[in-house]
A and B are shown apart, each in its own frame.
Chain A
Amino acid sequence: MTKLFALTLAAASCAASAQTPASNPMPDGSRDMYVGLGVVSKPRYEGAADRERAALPVLQVQLSNGLFVSGMRAGIHLGGSPQVEFGPLLEVQPRRDAEGEGAEVGDLNAVRFSIVALPPAAFSDNRLAGMPAIHSRVQGGGFLNYYLTPAWRLTSSLLYGAGNARNGTKLELGVQRLALEFGVQHRVALDAGVTLADRRYNMAFFGVGEEDSYNSGNAVFEAGGGLKDAHLGARWNWAWSPSWMLTSTVQATRLLGSARLSPLVERPTNLTVSTAIAYRF
């Protein structure tokens, strides 16, 4: 009848299926906050074949006035109906660069000038080596979610401002099964969705210009707009007490369309796994 315990705790990761938290009725002047720390195992960048493990901070804040922060996203719930959620949304697009390859690139620069004509990344297996860093950006847009039933939610978000030119746009569409209960303390949420991106977004993250090609050794690639990826995910929340919980996620993502064909992409299908302990207060 209601979204009982339909908690979707979001992690502060760059998982593609970041969701807005369900609207959270609470007393005026109250809040619902989670902070935590865990680990994530994920591809080094979208489309990378190699993986990395990293510390994973977890953050979710919801205020009685509708304001929320959920991982890398922040927004405001403006809707007053239990069936529809909508509002403005901001998302931090994390920086992407060669990640740890900088010193090696510097060394290769010295080699390049002595040997002449070899691109800076000629001796690197890292396809991002020599590619320009994409600086972290705040994207702006909005979200609209619709509940088919209290347990099934259609989700969407539109965000603009990605890439160094701050003009990339992405549209995320998904469906979520909320709050499958296995006893009162175990809840699982499932989600599936697709991301569509315009040409400017895909060029920023998957395109290779002529200069980039020279610097990186990757073939020139003109990325187009359209379907960018499809993903399937699951989140398991295990509450130990009202204050402490373990939240774990697994998500499979497959790059599609123009993004999948990019020379930067080594493996189009990838898995992200995370687990974290969170404190609720």
Chain B
Amino acid sequence: MPLVPHITACCTVTLAALSGGLAYAGDWVSYRDAYRAMVVFEKYGGPKNFLQSQLQVAPQDHGASLEGVQLTLAGKTNQVNLPLDPLGRTPFPLLKGAYDENVALLLSRKIGSFAVRPRVSIALQADGVYEDGELRAGCEQALGFARYGDGSLRTRQCGGVRFVFAKRVGEVGVRLHRPDGTDAALAVVASVAFPGDADDNFPTVQYRFSGNERVQLVTAYPPLAIVPLFD
């Protein structure tokens, strides 16, 4: 098996191509590939009024910071800056022109090894008040969408939601208001925002669905995300 000449040829064409300037110097993501991933939510015909879909740039190094990082879509017909939130997410514009141009989404600085994923979470309320029923409906919608793309989730059930907060001291908290007027603060724990994320040090509050209580959850500070939990 003459593998050596083959490998040599492979390396030669690779190096020739790279030296010819075919590759980007910085980190980038193919807009077309990102579009393919993100348009699935757009085309999904099931209920999704409680949901939002964003593109996430997820560093794979635990300590990598995303502060000030943005994606730049630099096409001939579209110039868009997409700042990343502390979870690495940004709303993704579905632009036919950028797809047809096959442009790159350029990261404004290097963040080490990273992955790019679509992330669906429950939309935030401006007043910071969330009915238990709304959170359940949001979680069910998220599970319905997840099952649409992944049949292996058929047996999973909605178990609760996770409120994810920014790493700012004192700006974390979720209070539980029951119909009888009692009020309790839910525990804050350090955790990942989304399954598979590397950073497990975000302040989070987990709320598990139990019974049919007509309770309200009140956030004193806006969370970064409300993530549905599937059991």
Say yes or no: A4-B30 contact (C-beta < 8 A), given A25-B39, A240-B18, A281-B102.
no
| B35 proximity list for chain A (CB < 8 A) | 26-27
Chain A residues close to B by CB (< 8 Å): 1-5, 7, 24-30, 32, 38-39, 41, 51, 53, 81-83, 147-150, 181, 183-184, 238-244, 246, 248, 271, 273, 275, 277, 280-281
Complex Cα spacing A149 to B155, Å: 13
| B186 proximity list for chain A (CB < 8 A) | none
| A7 proximity list for chain B (CB < 8 A) | 33
Say yes or no: A277-B40 contact (C-beta < 8 A), given A1-B120, A26-B99, A241-B22.
no
| B137 proximity list for chain A (CB < 8 A) | none
Which of A38, A51, A83, A242 is within 8 Å of B102, CB to CB? A242
Complex Cα spacing A181 to B113, Å: 11
Check A27–B99 contact: CB distance below 8 A: yes
Check A2–B102 contact: CB distance below 8 A: no
Other CB < 8 Å A-B pairs besides A81-B148, A242-B28, 11 of them? A1-B118, A5-B116, A26-B32, A26-B35, A38-B13, A41-B3, A51-B2, A83-B149, A240-B24, A241-B23, A275-B13
Check A4–B13 contact: CB distance below 8 A: no
| A5 proximity list for chain B (CB < 8 A) | 30, 33, 36-37, 116
- The answer to the question of B210 belonging to the interface, with a C-beta cut-off of 8 Å to chain A, is no
Complex Cα spacing A187 to B102, Å: 19
Which of B27, B99, B150 is within 8 Å of A184, CB to CB? B27
Nearest residue (CB) in A for B117 is A4
Q: In the assembled complex, how far is the CB of residue A22 from the closest CB belonging to chain B, in whole angstroms?
A: 9
| A24 proximity list for chain B (CB < 8 A) | 36
- The answer to the question of B76 belonging to the interface, with a C-beta cut-off of 8 Å to chain A, is no
Q: In the assembled complex, how far is the CB of residue B129 from the closest CB belonging to chain A, in whole angstroms?
A: 28
Complex Cα spacing A116 to B96, Å: 71
Nearest residue (CB) in B for A181 is B115
Check B28–A246 contact: CB distance below 8 A: no
| A181 proximity list for chain B (CB < 8 A) | 115
Which of B30, B39, B43 is within 8 Å of A239, CB to CB? B30
Q: In the assembled complex, how far is the CB of residue B197 from the closest CB belonging to chain A, in whole angstroms?
A: 14
| B103 proximity list for chain A (CB < 8 A) | 242
- The answer to the question of B62 belonging to the interface, with a C-beta cut-off of 8 Å to chain A, is no
Q: In the assembled complex, how far is the CB of residue A266 from the closest CB belonging to chain B, in whole angstroms?
A: 14
Check B40–A2 contact: CB distance below 8 A: yes
Interface string of B91-121 (1 = CB under 8 A from A): 0001010011011100000000111111010
Complex Cα spacing A28 to B3, Å: 44
Check B40–A82 contact: CB distance below 8 A: yes
- The answer to the question of B201 belonging to the interface, with a C-beta cut-off of 8 Å to chain A, is no
Nearest residue (CB) in A for B30 is A242
Say yes or no: A30-B99 contact (C-beta < 8 A), given A4-B33, A149-B152, A184-B27.
yes
Check B17–A32 contact: CB distance below 8 A: no
| A148 proximity list for chain B (CB < 8 A) | 151-152
- Counting chain B CB atoms within 10 Å of each CB, the highest count among A53, A147, A148, A275 belongs to A275
| A38 proximity list for chain B (CB < 8 A) | 13
